A = this chain, B = another copy of it.
Amino acid sequence: MDRIKELQAVYRDTLLDDVMPFWGRHSHDRVHGGYFTCLLRDGQVFDTDKFVWLQGRQAWTYAMLYQRVAPREEWLEGAKLGVDFLKKYGRDRDGNFYFSLTREGAPLVQAYNVFSDCFAAMAFSQYGLAAGDEESLDLAKRTFSNILIRQKNPKGVYNKAFPGTRPLKGFSLPMILSNLCLELEPLLSPDLVAETLAHCEHEVMEVFLDKKELLVYENLHTDGSKSDSFEGRLINPGHGIEAMWFMMDLAARRGDRTLIKRAVDVTIRLIEYGWDDEFEGIFYFKDVKGYPPQQLEWDQKLWWVHLETLVALAKGYQLTGDHRCAEWFLRVHNYSWEHFADPSHGEWFGYLDRRGNPLLMLKGGKWKGCFHVPRAMYQVWKTLEKSGEG
């Protein structure tokens, strides 16, 4: 029990005294609005482009903490900085969110990627609820409807797959929708929430999860069958593990012990499957047949993979008491704090080579922003708090 209290304090203090102050000090663009996310080890800005995924995610993080941890004015203001920027510059004429913008807000990369819309919707919804801002709530709802319309062809005209030859569907969208739908629940009709969650849960647990192997596939044929291709053989253990804690959240809402147990089993299986026995840590990608993956970064150790794993294991332990969750939690915790954390400058490194040395000396970039680290610190802290009570 003492160990749980101790760990809880580590995650809480890192969130409140290290991670959030780091982003607050270095990432706010007081001139043009929005956030810088390309930050060197010490926080220095090295590129000023603004990536819509990360603008939405950082605004969401502030608003979420304001709602769930404490109504600190600085967090509401932090959220507003990104939300205002997204409102003003984020959308094209059809209401789709660009992928990236210049520092000043001019569109750089077109709205080829529906995940920009997902993270914008999350930001608008949390901020709208936090600030009581009707415009944001309305934008969140409209963006969510748009995502549902686009989900069959999320890349639109930028889809390079020739129609019909090998129609594939990706795991990312149903997975993210399940999380997004819970985020937007207060704004949506109960029927739409129930229907969307049922669809996502089915896709994740019945379609993309192979129930014999307990592995989650990244891509399947649209009819749900396997594809023996680079895309079809791809396993991203961290991605599957992240989905499992979304599933635990769904299952906990309705007290579904069967789904909780299944999600825990899949989490453990994916960690064991992805674990690097030689150098520790979880691989980024594997080919399910053991062939060379297309991704040259396959053997790297990424921050978010390990953080999502810590969240899934904390939740799994709190919900089931499964000792495998506790043991793996400590192992991944030790690895992560030893290799990703940067006590001399704060925050975490994002990208390690296979041996656990930093591959890029950055704290933020095109894909790493103020999101996975604080979200996981918050989730683990709060989950251990519940475990401690039990």
Residues of chain A touching chain B, judged by Cβ–Cβ distance below 8 Å, are: 38, 40, 46-47, 49, 98-99, 102, 106-110, 112, 157-158, 160-162, 165-166, 228-230, 289, 291-294, 296-300, 351, 353-354, 359-362, 365-366
Interface centre among A161, A162, A229, A289 (most CB of B within 10 A): A162
Known: A109-B160, A110-B162, A291-B47. A359 touches B102 (CB 8 A): no
Q: Are B292 and A361 in contact (CB under 8 A)?
A: yes
A27: min CB distance to chain B, Å: 16
Q: How far is the CA of A297 from the CA of B299 in the complex (A)?
A: 11
Q: Are B366 and A108 in contact (CB under 8 A)?
A: no
Whose C-beta in chain B lies nearest to the C-beta of A362? B292
| Contact among B38, B157, B296 with A297 in the assembled complex (CB-CB below 8 Å) | B296
Would you give 11 A-B contacts (Cβ < 8 Å), ordered by A? A98-B162, A107-B162, A107-B165, A108-B165, A108-B166, A109-B160, A109-B161, A110-B161, A292-B365, A293-B360, A296-B296
Take A160-B99, A166-B102, A353-B353 as given contacts and tell me if A292 and B46 are in contact as well, using a CB distance cutoff of 8 Å.
yes
Inter-chain contact B108/A161, CB cutoff 8 Å: yes
Q: How far is the CB of A297 from the nearest CB of chain B, in Å? A: 4
- Complex copy number for this chain: 2
Question: How far does the Cβ of A224 sit from chain B's closest Cβ, in whole Å?
Answer: 20
In the complex, which of the residues B165, B289, B299, B360 contacts A359, with contact meaning CB atoms closer than 8 Å?
B299
Closest to A358 in B: B292
**A99, A157, A292, A296, most chain B CB atoms within 10 A:** A292
Q: Which of B107, B230, B359 contacts A366 (CB 8 A)?
A: B230
* Nearest opposing residue in chain B for A109, CB measure: B160
Whether B297 lies near A297 (C-beta < 8 A) is yes
Contact flag A296-B300 (CB < 8 Å), given A102-B166, A110-B162: yes
Shortest distance between the CB of A47 and any CB in chain B (Å): 6
Name the B residues within 8 Å of A292 (CB-CB).
40, 46, 360-362, 365
B296, A351: Cβ atoms closer than 8 Å:
yes
Q: Can you list the 8 inter-chain pairs with the closest CB atoms, starting with the nearest?
A: A292-B360, A296-B297, A107-B162, A292-B362, A46-B291, A106-B165, A110-B160, A112-B160
CB pair A230–B106 under 8 Å, yes or no, is: no
B contact residues around A165 at 8 Å (CB)? 102, 106-108
Q: Residue of B at shortest CB range from A366?
A: B294
A160 and B161 contacting across the interface, CB-CB below 8 Å: no
In the complex, what residues of B have CB within 8 A of residue A297's CB? 296-297
- Report B-chain residues with C-beta under 8 Å of the C-beta of A359: 296, 298-299
Flag if A162 contacts B108 (CB, 8 Å). yes
A299 contacts across to B, CB distance below 8 A: 353, 359
Residues of B within 8 A of A289 (CB): 46
Least CB separation from A102: chain B residue: B165
